[in-house]
Every structure is written in C-alpha cells, then in structure tokens.
Amino acid sequence: MLVRLVVTVLFVLLLWLAVRKARLIPTRGQSLVEMGLDFVRVQIVEQTLGKERAKPYVGMFTVIFFTILAMNLAGVVPFLNIAGTSRMGLPALLALWVFVTYLVVGVRMHGAGKYFKAQLIPPGVPWPMLILLIPIEALQLFVIRPVTLALRLVANMMAGHIMLVLCFVGTHTLFLYSDAIMKPLGAVTFAAGIAITGFEIFVAVLQAFIFTLLSVVYLNFSLEESH
C-alpha cells in the first residue's frame, strides 16, 4: 500500500524536524510532540497500569498510538485521501502485536498454568457453569479481544472513507453531470463532505485513542494477579 509508505515517510520526517534540534526550552514543534507523547504515557498507559508497571510498555503503546493516528489522518489529507488503517493488514498486525504481548507477558509473569487458569476460570462460579464459561472466556481471550481491536478500527476508517467518497463523488456528479434542477443539491453534499472531514479528524484521534486504551486494558488483565 503506497499510502502507508508515504505516510510513514512524512510522519517520520515531521517528527524528526520537530525534535531534530530538541532543546531544554522547547520550540513549538517540540512542545507539540512532547505533549503527544505525554498524553499517551500519562493519560493512557500510566493511568491504567500504574506508574511503575507502565514503564516497560510505554514505548510500545506510543508507537501503536502514533502509527494509528498518522495512518488514520491520512484519510483526510488531500491526494492521500485514504486511511492507512482502512485496509485490514495494519490493524490486524497491530492487534496481533498486542495479542502476542499480553499472552507472553501473562505467561511469563504467572506461569502458563496459573495464567490460563486465572483467565479462563472465573473464581466463585459453581462448576456446571464452567462448561459454559470456559469456552466463552477462551473465545474472549484468544479471538474476540484481538479481532475486535482490529475490526473496530478498520470498520471505522473504511466507513469514514466511504462517506467521504460518497459526498465528494456526489458533489462532483451533481455539479457537472446532472440536470440543472439537481445542481443545488451538490452544495448540500459538499457541505456534508466538509462536515464529515471534520468528523473524520475527530474519529481518527478517537480510534487511535480507543485502540491504544483497550490494548493497555487487555495487557492489564495479564499483569493483574487474578482476572
């Protein structure tokens, strides 16, 4: 996907420019980058995991958040016009990263037996219920969490892309190819396109936030003593 490469290059270049001459007294660009990193570190990771436990994972979630954010925002950048996350590959890859991380961390921290027991068998439940609950919990742990993570993101971005395409193609068609009486309707679709562009910027940030936050929450399940 070409758009992902372009976004990657632009994004890395922008960040590099912002912090190339990083100093104690920050420039505007540096402040902005620091603010973004601080937001992920404090608001997302440290508030969920606690300051001490968060330390080893801050970098990973910072990468996930900013990758998704940059790719999402590509959806409203002229000439790119499609989010890098609106194809399944990237969200699936990031979800896989989170999935593997929380499994490995959980097993390494508690041991495989104890970890899966804690995750799959809810305490204080009468044993006949376990026949039902263990498959549900297993589905939750191995399938639902990572898949929803990826699907939520890809569906949001794809829907946003389709709406934008609809509005602008509609505007184009109405203005240039339809009967005179239909032409004013093009103004409506154009206005809707502007509104949806704004909305898409909001969704881009929101989905990056949600993806990262849920990843941290899932990791937190693995770090905690009992489910």
Partner 1 sequence: MISADHTPSGIEIFIPHVYDWFWSLLVTVIIAVFFFKYLLPKLNAILDERAAKIEGGIALAEKVQAEAAEAKAQTDAELDEARKVAADIKEGASNDGAAIVAEARAKAQADAARIVEAAHRQIEAERASAVVSLREEVGGLATELASRIVGESLADDARQSRVIDRFLDDLDAGLAGENERVVASSTDAEPGQV
What sign does the dihedral 131-151-112-58 (CA atoms) show? Answer: negative
Task: Compute CA distances 59 → 29, 41, 96, 112, 178, whole Å.
Answer: 20, 9, 17, 26, 53
Q: According to the binding rule CB under 8 A, does residue 2 interact with partner 1?
A: yes
Check residue 75 and report its DSSP letter: G
Size of the chain, expressed as the number of residues it contains: 227
**Is residue 160 at the binding interface for partner 1, with CB under 8 A as the rule?**
no
- 156 near partner 1, judged by CB under 8 A: no
Among 45, 48, 57, 84, binds partner 1 (CB under 8 A): 84
Contact between 133 and 125 (Cβ < 8 Å)? yes
The answer to the question of residue 213 lying near partner 1 (CB under 8 A) is no
Q: Considering the rule CB under 8 A, would residue 1 count as an interface residue with partner 1?
A: yes
Q: How far is the CB of 166 from partner 1 (least distance, A)?
A: 17
Burial of 112 (0-12, 13-18, 19+ CB in 10 A): exposed
- By beta-carbon proximity to partner 1, the closer residue of 54 and 118 is 54
Q: How many residues sit close enough to partner 1 to count as binding (CB under 8 A)?
A: 39
- Give me the 86-125 binding string for partner 1, x by CB under 8 A, dash otherwise: -xxxx-xxx--x----------------------------
Supply the angle between the helices 89-110 and 145-177 in degrees, to the nearest 10.
170
Residue ranges that bind partner 1, judged by CB under 8 A: 1-5, 7-8, 11-12, 15-16, 19, 22-24, 26, 33-34, 37, 59, 62-63, 66-67, 70-71, 82, 84, 87-90, 92-94, 97, 151, 154, 158
